[in-house]
Amino acid sequence: MRVRDAVEADADAMATLADQPADVMRNLVHDRTVRVAVDKPEENDESEENDESEENDESEATSDESEATSNETDHPLRAMVSFDAAQETVHVTQFAGDLEAVERLLEEPIRFARSEGMTVEAIVAVGDETGKAAVETKGFSRAGDGPRFDGEPTVRYRLEE
């Protein structure tokens, strides 16, 4: 799995993952920090162990991870996460995808928050079991009811370190 910054060309795939309109995802790419997880191309595939150790050794994305080429956008997205920072909190504004990839992508806002001495909050739809499992695995605790989106209740989770 490779993690990189999202680009506008990812909007359609992100829309499918998040069950949102593509134009909303295009705006998200421009308005927030958005990271995506893609399957590595087979010719560049290395062992999963090497991937994890390389990712853990780097506190910031390198330029080759940050820029997606047209070939990279051809690979299916496994997950996406968007976040922004306000005052003393990093807000995970949206995430979607398979559990393993979402858990990996949640490391991005967590790493940013740690480096800035901030807390992290995420909003999860009440019926989103994958989202709930992902945030709880990463150490988030339920912090109360969240806002309603499209009439659906959400739960606010918080990670304080």
Domains of the chain (ranges, CATH numbers): 2-159 (3.40.630.30)
| Higher pLDDT pick, 157 / 150 | 157
Measured CA to CA, the distance from residue 2 to residue 65 in angstroms comes to 8
pLDDT digits (tens, 9 = 90+) for 112-127: 999 999 999 999 999 9
Quote the pLDDT of residue 11: 96
pLDDT digits (tens, 9 = 90+) for 49-84: 344 434 444 434 433 344 444 455 567 899 999 999
pTM for the predicted model, two decimal places: 0.78
pLDDT digits (tens, 9 = 90+) for 23-44: 999 999 999 999 999 987 655 4
Quote the pLDDT of residue 56: 43
Strands (E) in the chain, as ranges, are 2-5, 33-38, 77-86, 89-97, 119-125, 141-145, 154-159
Average confidence score pLDDT of the chain: 84
* pLDDT of 151 above 60: yes
Q: Copy the structure tokens of residue 159.
A: 């990670």
Share of the chain above pLDDT 70, in %: 78
Measured CA to CA, the distance from residue 155 to residue 148 in angstroms comes to 9
